[in-house]
Amino acid sequence: MEILRQLRDEGRAGDVQALLDHIPYARFMGFRAEVEGDTVTTIMPFKDSLIGNVSLPALHGGTIGALLEVTSVMQLLFDTQCERLPRTVDISVDYLRSGYPVDTYGQAIVTRQGRRVANVRAEIWQTSRDRLIATSHGHFLLTPV
């Protein structure tokens, strides 16, 4: 992905928001990112189109899964020097409770990283980090520089 090389050349390799802005799906979903220290926090601002169950109302499970995957990938890119976006080998999502019509936040940790594959655990929450709405564990294929 050319944007990764361009950001690295400009000395902005840690500019996760600039990267998100170049991913059409992330831009469509309205994902944002903030970096504090070594941690990337992703944010999915609420909008009505994210609702899957209008009677509760609750977020669609696909939007929750998408946020978990994007959170994992952004943390991997921040931690590594990948030349391309990591490819998802597999991801398993645990839905813990309904996501309500408010902003949703996510963070991930790289639990193991080899030369070609990394394992990442991600968590998302809304009003309190103590009340997770979903977690994931995924394996991602890396392309080193």
Domain spans, the chain: 2-141
- Digit-coded pLDDT (tens) for 54-71: 888 999 999 999 999 999
One-letter identity of residue 110: V
Model-wide pTM > 0.85: yes
Letter string b/e over residues 84-97, b meaning 16 or more CB atoms within 10 A of that residue's CB: ebbeeeebebeeee
Q: What is the pLDDT of residues 14-45, one digit of tens each?
A: 678 888 888 888 999 999 999 999 999 999 99
Distance CA 63, CA 135 (A): 13
- In CATH, 2-141 is 3.10.129.10: yes
